[in-house]
Structure 1
Amino acid sequence: MNETNKQSSIFAPIAALGLTCLIVTALLAVTNFFTAPVIAEQSGNKANAARLLVLPEGDDFSLIDLPEGAAESGVTEIARAGNGAGYTVTVVTPGYHGDITAMFGIGPDGKISGVEVLEHTETQGLGERIVTPEFRQQFTGKSGVLNLVKGGANTEQDIEALAGATVSSTAMTNAANAALAAYEQSKEVS
């Protein structure tokens, strides 16, 4: 085999692979260009649907800047209802098996109007009970600093822990406290 044939037998597959990579990259870029706006719209629709679940009286939600220190407590987003019905606060907090993302609606009176767990990876049959209406309803009507208790709530500020899922219960209580604190800071700025 001569030197020219040797070089072409080495470089031909490299050139073909390079061209294939270039074509695939271009196709992915075009796909992303057309699908990114659709994905963003669907994500926005999902967020607005969750906002309406936790703050049913709200409408025309607009995102506001996070108050100082809110991000450190897990707050990722605060939206204000245009009609004055209150705020929604999204919090990401560590649970037992990973992060829990929850949204809290807080009315103009500073009380929680609703809670939705948007994402979680908690233990099936135990920690996943944070999504049940019975657990989430404990937060409704509460304000101030909430306390997690075992064996029954005794005060207005108590949240009863789920048996066998104290870490998940604690995470949700911490998320509620972070949301309430962010609400207080946000309404002072407004």
Structure 2
Amino acid sequence: MATVRYLNEFGPTVLAMQSLLRTAIWGGAQTVWLLAEDDRAKRLERATRVQYYSDDNYREWLNTYAADPAAVRARDKVIEKLGDLGKQAKVDQTTVVQKVPGLVFADQPEAVRESEQAWRELGSTAHALPWEIDTRVTSERTSLPAPSGHITRQVTARWAEIGSHLGFAYAFLSKGWGQVR
């Protein structure tokens, strides 16, 4: 919803909404993955893995504040919670995002491939890697005068470049919400 509201207010932007779209795709894919099995034990096992993954990331972040007494107390609580959960298999976001399109777009093999491609493109932007801009049809590269040889780009934001990404996020979220019972 944040992405849709942003688009309605400002229209497409060159970089800002890609992180929102990636988060929406992950949220939808994670929901589908959590609820895809109509088996209570399997759902609980996956939910426990997600909780462990989240808490373990929180613990790592709290470790960066080792001198702060409040962070140390919070970390100790998280470590206790992790112990209660027991060691869990890692939840690999990319693996989940690779599996979910097959459930959502079972009769559309191209959508399966394109949704993974969108995830990886959005990941490039989310991790501030410039290669993704080179893949856009609206990216024009120019070289600065020698001797610097640096490359500059002029990029225009277009609805067409984010439409499928928004569609994947919506499809995953819709499928996930539809599985809640």
TM-score range, shorter chain: under 0.3
Bigger CA radius of gyration:
1
Normalized per residue, the structure richer in strand is 1
